[in-house]
Structure 1
Amino acid sequence: MELKNGEYKAVLNGIVHWIKIDGSQNNTVPLVLLHGGPGGNHYVFERTIVPLLSSERTVIYYEQRGCGRTEKPSEETEYSIDLLIEDFAALFKWLDVKKVDLLGYSFGGELALEIAHNFPMMINKIILSGPSLIDSKINKFVQITGFCSVVGNEMYKQMEDVLNKNLTIAETYNAFWELADSKSVDLLLFQNQDIARRNRELWEESNLVNTGHMFKGLQQNPVKRPLIGRLKEIDHQTLIMTGVFDRNTGIPISTIINREMKNSEMVLFHHSAHFPDLEEPEKYNRTVQMFLIN
């Protein structure tokens, strides 16, 4: 199909997906955006960084099955990495292009790597923004220590009580998230709390809810071979962008990915936490554009 700007509804792998095309007049290799969560959406990204990106690139964004403005599967169990990869393959066929670039943020970065591993011939370059490795113990450790580093004394004492119970890492992780309030989550995700408030305003404005079904489904249907053991098999030129204050996935996860991959580079954002696209948008856009041009 000829790529034309606008919003679309397309049946991909049996699910009606929300898709938006912007910047088609630039006639570049399409840059496909993969949102995080798991179970999130593109609403904030669409209204903040995308206008900068689409000023020079053809940008394609879609919301994953059961997420945002995309249809929910009939069964809550119909969520897995394999299904998300199959959905992407259907999107690629729908776009009818030779190759695409990928930009995945948070869990979307992890999904981008899974897609590239399974369909290397479809992918040109990969950009990862604060990528996760959600099933790894280290990713849980990062968030556990991240919460402890930003919460107030009262919340810290509650979290310390959890640490003293000698629970498993997964149990500790789940207990921390049950304790965390919106203020704690904003402190975890953002260095600039004015931007955190603006982000939360956009979340509320969207009326889009993360049902939690995606995260639950991914836990119930784990990949047979963890991604961390397959990173060396991905050959694509890859850019990893990470905020130095990222307490959600952060420098530890990005460093592991960068270390394991054959053809990657890492750029640090010195005034950002988990969302450098919001906290340093001009540098973010410039870094993406230069990487895709070179």
Structure 2
Amino acid sequence: MKTMINGVRYHVEQYGDGFPLVLLHGFTGAASTWKPFCPIWGNHSTLLMVDLIGHGETESPGDTARYNIKKATDDLKVLLDQLEIEKTDMLGYSMGGRIAITFASMYPERIRKLVLESTTPGLENPADREARVQQDQKLAMKIETEGLEKFISFWESIPLFQSQLNLPKEIREQIRSQRLRNNPVGLSNSLRGMGTGAQPSWWDKLTTFDFETLLITGELDDKFCKIAADMASKLPNAKHLSIIDCGHAIHVEEREKFGTIVSEFLSNT
């Protein structure tokens, strides 16, 4: 479905029946990321698969300020209001996980259960934030100067995604094809507007999350395993699972296992 939210036309796909589950993809991703999980999760949840601002079929405004992570998060609140959903489960991967944490920090009363895959509440140190802003600015300029195809080839090759080289060629080609359907303006503005450096640090908010939270990381992804362990030590009601022989994108590399883990977590009351 298409819906206007705060002046931006959003694309949202709905599937299944049950308690709502909002699904938030990562940078360069799209709602279609979650399609393989429809058969299993749709049995117990109404899936709301959102193309985040600047991604997929959702509009890509030219104004970088519109991509501010708090504004992108408020868009989700408006979506829930439009659908008359008072409380929801939420699952976010990487960038989508940062938006999920932002949502849980801003609107904790709207969350029943939270699933966070390979993500972070942000950077606590202002100097680290500034360095990351500069890094993301360079990436945004890379998209603008070299074009989308070259950038996606570069993005696929970064160490974070090396373990995906072991995936079947057909799946790797599907992921590449989906990434290339994005709007370069949307991707560069997402980096500038809601990159890890541009967003607030939500570390101090974690102690207030009284809902069940599941943290999932791949054991080969050292950086995010450590972040998740640090998060788990602050969250009052969290479980951290590290998946063996797996990198950053568990939902891609260990699809069946990921689907089952999430399904069991959401189904247990």
TM over 0.5: yes
Aligned: 1:282 with 2:256: yes
The equivalent of 2:115 in structure 1 is: 127
Distance 2:249 2:71 in 1: 27
Q: 1:149-188 counterparts in 2 under 5 A?
A: 170=132, 181=154, 184-185=157-158, 187-188=159-160
The equivalent of 1:161 in structure 2 is: none
- Which one of 49, 54, 60 corresponds to residue 66 of structure 1? 54
The equivalent of 1:195 in structure 2 is: 167
Q: 1:86-97 counterparts in 2 under 5 A?
A: 86-97=74-85
Count of residue correspondences: 252
Query: Is the CA contact 2:131–2:197 (under 8 Å) kept in the aligned structure 1?
Result: no
Unaligned runs of 5+ in 1: 1-7, 141-167
SS in 2 for 1:22: strand
Cα RMSD (Å): 3.2
Which one has the largest radius of gyration?
1
Using the size of structure 1 for normalisation, the TM-score is 0.75
Aligned: 1:43 with 2:43: no
Query: Is the CA contact 1:107–1:134 (under 8 Å) kept in the aligned structure 2?
Result: no
Q: Describe the shift of the 1:104–1:236 C-alpha distance in structure 2 as closer, same or farther (beyond 3 A).
A: same
- Which one of 259, 268, 287 corresponds to residue 233 of structure 2? 259
CA drift of 1:259 comes to 1.3
Q: 1:93-104 counterparts in 2 under 5 A?
A: 93-104=81-92
The equivalent of 1:208 in structure 2 is: 181
CA drift of 1:214 comes to 0.9
SS in 2 for 1:40: coil
The equivalent of 1:33 in structure 2 is: 23
Query: Is the CA contact 1:44–1:202 (under 8 Å) kept in the aligned structure 2?
Result: no
- Which one of 221, 231, 237 corresponds to residue 212 of structure 2? 237
The equivalent of 1:151 in structure 2 is: none
Query: Is the CA contact 1:190–1:196 (under 8 Å) kept in the aligned structure 2?
Result: no
Aligned residues with identical type, % of pairs:
24
Distance 2:38 2:118 in 1: 17
CA drift of 1:132 comes to 2.7
Query: Is the CA contact 1:9–1:19 (under 8 Å) kept in the aligned structure 2?
Result: yes
The equivalent of 1:271 in structure 2 is: 245
- 2:265 is aligned with what amino acid? F
Q: Describe the shift of the 1:74–1:134 C-alpha distance in structure 2 as closer, same or farther (beyond 3 A).
A: same
SS in 1 for 2:181: coil
Q: Describe the shift of the 1:174–1:87 C-alpha distance in structure 2 as closer, same or farther (beyond 3 A).
A: closer
Q: 1:216-227 counterparts in 2 under 5 A?
A: 216-218=192-194, 222-223=198-199, 225-227=200-202
